[in-house]
Amino acid sequence: MSSPVILITGAAKRIGAEISRHLHQLGYRLVLHYHTSETAALSLQQELNGITPHSVAIIRQDLTELDQLAHMADRVLACFGRLDGVINNASSFYPTPLTSSTPAQWQDLISTNAAAPFFLTQALIPALRQHNGAIINMVDIHAEKGLQHHLLYSMAKNALATLTRGLACELAPDIRVNGIAPGAIIWPAHDLTAEQKQQVLATIPMGRLGQVQEIAETAAFLLGGPAYLTGQIIALDGGRSSRGLSEA
């Protein structure tokens, strides 16, 4: 019962679920957050508790309800009585063309991608300090320059990048704060032609999509990594963000 405890937001599916499985295999206990994916969250909890009984709890919360996040923090701590790390993985992502973007979309995107990590961290600082905890924020390689037709999302992720570096300074030396900026990991939900996919792959020096498992491995490294490593955002993009370097 002394195993470290990690909160993962948006944990029920895709990247969040893979991170959960990987960390659980490494011996962490988990608090898995979800919003609407209750069936997937319950299934993942049952799967992991079947391997190690009483090692995984789940919590439902709409992260746009910012005034409820302090209460969410209390519920997280009630699960196992301690907290050693937080992975802010939950994210809304969809196109917001400039001429048709709405305040509601802005509220949703800024809340899930930046405001919720801020206020949730604020509420969990005392617990994390007790165990020299670590925070990992899932940023995006498009946070700096933006993604076409996703300006509001890109702005929100840019705010998360700023939050990551700012928290690293504010919370040192007790709590380390780092980020992961994934590149092309999973093809988008809307169909792409073979030509469009090849165009994307042509921009990636590694010549392939990243694997979700590689994000999970990076998260595990940052949770248990060097005690001197904080304030960094690792671009897990197959070298895509380095293409501006000379090839001579």
Question: Residues 126, 179, 169, 134: what is their CA dihedral angle, to the nearest 10 degrees?
Answer: 30
Q: Where are the alpha helices (DSSP H) in 26-142?
A: 38-51, 69-80, 103-110, 116-130
49/81 Cα distance (integer angstroms): 18
Does the active-site annotation cover 153? yes
205/194 Cα distance (integer angstroms): 18
**CB distance 35 to 62 below 8 Å:** yes
* Tokens 């073979």 found at: 194
Identify the burial level of 66 via C-beta atoms within 10 angstroms of its C-beta, where 0-12 means exposed, 13-18 middle and 19 or more buried.
middle
Question: Of the residues 28, 94, 153, 228, which is catalytic?
Answer: 153
Identify the burial level of 207 via C-beta atoms within 10 angstroms of its C-beta, where 0-12 means exposed, 13-18 middle and 19 or more buried.
exposed
- List active site positions: 153
